């Protein structure tokens, strides 16, 4: 079996080799720029935490550096590597005048403190997923993934043309943050378990790392869920601090090495039919960049998203075959368990919507779009 470290280095090299050169603005604007016209009026800025002042609109050729705190190691495919890819795209497009520098988790701030650091301006931006901020802003979870939710194309359609983008920006702007969708990954695995799960009763008392709204679903069956940053999951599982864990798509789970400490891997990822990731920027910094640099970031994130979708789909099957060779049993949840999860999800989303007006608004928007989209889905799918 190839060691997790060797896997990480191999995949990292493959990602680096896949990075393209210059990117035309037209392609990026087709799928990128999940932003409005920047009409929000930000509060007074105390000045950037960067080497270059950006509190005035950037003129052509003015050099600007943005420090971005990542919540994922850059060695991990897409969720980390495409942050480095963003660095190269922006550098190429700006001729080196706009520098985006991504810092590893903990180098600037702890992973789970990125939201506050971006909001306050102690860092210029963050690279993350919005579900990490569920404890602060529950409604933001819809802009990462949704239990039994849309797949990538439908999720993207809602964001671009169904009202999702406007809600996304409105909510983030209240916290002095501007978001850009900057990557997608396909469906996650549903979790790594030391022992098989044969019935819903097996969740009772189970300690499991689980991100987002799916964790609330498992709590309905007696599981004890907790949120851990990516780098903390393997040690917790290895030491027995937790009994099970979900993290990401198969190729990432394999690289992290979960197969070394658990042998039962469940599918499908009912809690994350697709996953949307983001680059977030301090709103003062964003508004001070000027139209040209903002357009470059929007375009680069758009092209990055396109590449992430294609790359993420291309690399899962080899990872699954490798996991099977390593002795992992890959299981599908039986229909009766998935049905129970779905019913529990309806209870969770109803309770959350009653407790939080923003959560209710976003859920209403997504649900209305999905109901309308269902007609197209019905007639356009072969299954």
pLDDT at 37: 39
Helical (H) or strand (E) element with 254 = helix 250-256
For the chain, list the strands marked E by DSSP: 64-70, 98-103, 125-128, 177-185, 191-193, 207-209, 224-226, 244-245, 264-267, 275-282, 329-332
Q: How confident is the model at residue 24 (pLDDT cuts 50, 70, 90)?
A: very low
Q: Which of 48-52, 335-339, 342-346 has the lowest average pLDDT?
A: 48-52
For residues 18 and 223, the model is more confident at 223
10-17, long-range: CB < 8 A, 24+ apart: 11/75, 11/77, 11/81, 11/251, 11/255, 11/315, 12/74, 12/75, 12/81, 15/77, 15/81, 15/82, 15/84, 15/85, 15/311, 16/81, 16/84
Q: How confident is the model at residue 44 (pLDDT cuts 50, 70, 90)?
A: very low
pLDDT at 60: 52
pLDDT at 61: 61
Eight-state DSSP code of residue 332: E
CA distance 301 to 299: 5
Tell me the average pLDDT across 188-215: 94
For residues 28 and 86, the model is more confident at 86
Strand 207-209 relative to strand 224-226, pairing: parallel
Give the side-chain half-sphere CA count within 13 A for 96: 0
Q: Which of 38-52, 117-131, 234-248 has the lowest average pLDDT?
A: 38-52
For residues 200 and 7, the model is more confident at 200
CA distance 11 to 199: 36
Query: Is residue 46 scored above 90 in pLDDT?
Result: no
pLDDT at 269: 95
Query: Is residue 183 scored above 90 in pLDDT?
Result: yes
Tell me the average pLDDT across 356-372: 98
Tokens of 37: 């016209």
Q: Each residue of 134-150: pLDDT tens digit?
A: 999 999 999 998 999 99
Spatial contact of 283 and 174, defined as CB atoms under 8 Å apart: no
Domain-wise residue ranges, the chain: 4-186+274-314
CA distance 82 to 77: 7
CATH of domain 4-186+274-314: 3.40.190.170
Query: Is residue 56 scored above 70 in pLDDT?
Result: no
Q: What is the pTM of this model?
A: 0.81
Query: Is residue 14 scored above 50 in pLDDT?
Result: no
Residue with tokens 């899962």: 316
Q: How confident is the model at residue 227 (pLDDT cuts 50, 70, 90)?
A: confident
Q: How confident is the model at residue 23 (pLDDT cuts 50, 70, 90)?
A: very low
CA distance 225 to 375: 36
Q: Each residue of 148-177: pLDDT tens digit?
A: 999 999 999 999 999 999 999 999 999 999
Q: Each residue of 273-324: pLDDT tens digit?
A: 889 999 999 999 999 999 999 999 999 999 999 999 999 999 999 999 999 9
pLDDT at 197: 96
Helical (H) or strand (E) element with 334 = none
Q: How confident is the model at residue 203 (pLDDT cuts 50, 70, 90)?
A: very high
pLDDT at 7: 44
Tokens of 278: 């983001």
Q: Which of 38-47, 67-76, 219-228 has the lowest average pLDDT?
A: 38-47
Mean per-residue pLDDT of the chain: 87
| Cα 287–Cα 292–Cα 295 angle in degrees, nearest 5 | 80
pLDDT at 211: 86
Spatial contact of 214 and 141, defined as CB atoms under 8 Å apart: no
* Angle in degrees, 0-180, between the axes of helices 291-314 and 81-94, rounded to the nearest 10: 140
Give the side-chain half-sphere CA count within 13 A for 162: 22
pLDDT at 42: 36
What is the percent of the chain where pLDDT is above 90?
80
Spatial contact of 203 and 185, defined as CB atoms under 8 Å apart: no
Tell me the average pLDDT across 99-125: 98
3-state SS of 56-83 is CCCCCCCCEEEEEEECCCCCCCCCCHHH
Residue with tokens 């375009």: 299
CA distances for 344 relative to 198, 220, 231, 271, angstroms: 18, 7, 29, 12
pLDDT at 381: 87
47, β-bridge pairs:
none
* Angle in degrees, 0-180, between the axes of helices 357-380 and 335-355, rounded to the nearest 10: 140
DSSP string, 185-226: E-PPP-EEESS---SGGGGTT-EEE--THHHHHHHTTT-EEE
Query: Is residue 16 scored above 50 in pLDDT?
Result: no
Query: Is residue 59 scored above 60 in pLDDT?
Result: no
pLDDT at 52: 39
């Amino acid at each position: 079996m190839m060691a997790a470290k060797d896997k990480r280095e191999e995949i990292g090299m493959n990602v680096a080799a896949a990075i393209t050169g210059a990117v035309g603005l037209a392609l990026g604007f087709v799928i990128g720029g999940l932003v409005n016209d920047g009409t929000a009026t930000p509060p007074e800025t105390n000045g950037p935490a960067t080497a270059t002042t950006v509190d005035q609109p950037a003129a052509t050729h003015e050099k600007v550096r943005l420090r971005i705190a990542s919540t994922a190691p850059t060695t991990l495919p897409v969720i980390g590597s495409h942050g480095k890819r963003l660095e190269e795209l922006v550098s190429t497009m700006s001729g080196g005048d706009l520098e985006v520098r991504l810092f590893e988790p903990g180098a600037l701030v702890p992973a789970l403190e990125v939201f506050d650091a971006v909001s306050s301006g102690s860092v210029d931006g963050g690279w993350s997923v919005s579900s990490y901020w569920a404890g602060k802003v529950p409604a933001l979870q819809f802009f990462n993934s949704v239990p039994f939710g849309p797949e990538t194309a439908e999720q993207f359609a809602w964001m671009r043309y169904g009202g999702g983008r406007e809600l996304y920006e409105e909510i983030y702007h209240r916290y002095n943050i501007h978001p850009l969708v900057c990557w997608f990954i396909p469906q996650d695995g549903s979790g790594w378990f030391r022992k098989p799960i044969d019935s819903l009763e097996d969740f009772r008392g189970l300690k499991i790392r689980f991100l987002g709204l799916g964790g609330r679903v498992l709590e309905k069956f007696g599981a004890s869920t907790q949120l851990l940053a990516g780098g903390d999951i393997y040690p917790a599982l290895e030491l027995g601090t937790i009994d099970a864990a979900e993290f990401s798509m198969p190729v990432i789970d394999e690289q992290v090495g979960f197969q070394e400490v658990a042998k039962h891997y469940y599918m499908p990822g009912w809690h994350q039919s697709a996953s949307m990731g983001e680059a977030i920027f301090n709103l003062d910094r964003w508004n001070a960049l000027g139209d040209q640099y903002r357009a470059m970031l929007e375009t680069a994130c758009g092209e990055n998203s396109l590449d992430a979708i294609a790359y993420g789909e291309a690399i899962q099957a080899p990872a699954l075959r490798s996991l099977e060779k390593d002795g992992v049993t890959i299981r599908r949840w039986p229909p009766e368990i998935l049905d129970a999860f779905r019913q529990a999800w309806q209870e969770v989303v109803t309770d959350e919507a009653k407790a939080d007006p923003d959560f209710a608004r976003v859920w209403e928007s997504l649900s209305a779009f999905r109901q309308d989209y269902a007609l197209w889905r019905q007639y356009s799918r072969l299954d």
